[in-house]
């Protein structure tokens, strides 16, 4: 993995669709952005922050996330997540994450990812099938 500077930032965006709603993903009955979808967008922002530094078979996996979903977002509205690298200890990468809709902040928290090697990681996971 190439060296990343602290405070590196990654972004991810989406326009809330039917598939992104709490009523569609099973996390509630309302037609608003589902918390799991917001979390996915935050993780994607962290992945995007690290993407250009990865080499060969390197990738990262999410290992911890703690977020607050502060405000509801209706279908059709744009959402943008950002992840700021706050700490790097060996293979562990820590981020502050935030999500915004067109009206302002909708979520915030922390996220942790670990560097792994794709082929080895997948093989270990698949060994559970035996």
CB contact at 8 A, 12 and 45: yes
Segment 53-60 mean pLDDT: 97
82 forms beta bridges with 11, 98
- CA distances to 39, 66, 87, 88, 123 from 105, rounded to whole Å, are 14, 16, 23, 26, 39
Question: How confident is the model at residue 84, as a pLDDT?
Answer: 98
| pLDDT band at residue 3 under the 50/70/90 scheme | confident
9 forms beta bridges with 84
- Give me the domains of the chain, ranges plus CATH numbers: 9-129 (3.10.129.10)
pLDDT tens track for 64-82: 999 999 999 999 999 999 9
pTM of the model: 0.96
| pLDDT band at residue 32 under the 50/70/90 scheme | very high
Question: How confident is the model at residue 27, as a pLDDT?
Answer: 98
Strand, helix or coil at 117? strand
């Amino acid at each position: 993995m190439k060296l990343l500077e602290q405070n590196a930032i990654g972004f991810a965006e989406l326009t809330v669709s039917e598939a992104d709603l709490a009523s569609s993903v099973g996390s509630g009955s309302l037609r608003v952005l589902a918390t799991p979808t917001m979390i996915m967008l935050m993780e994607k922002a962290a992945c995007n922050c690290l993407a250009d530094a990865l080499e060969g078979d390197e990738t990262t996996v999410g290992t911890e996330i703690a977020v607050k979903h502060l405000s509801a977002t209706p279908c059709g509205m744009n959402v943008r997540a950002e992840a700021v690298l706050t700490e790097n200890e060996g293979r562990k990468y820590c981020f502050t994450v935030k999500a915004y809709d067109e009206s302002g902040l909708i979520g915030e928290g922390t996220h942790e990812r670990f560097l792994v090697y794709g082929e080895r990681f997948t093989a270990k996971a698949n060994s559970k099938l035996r």
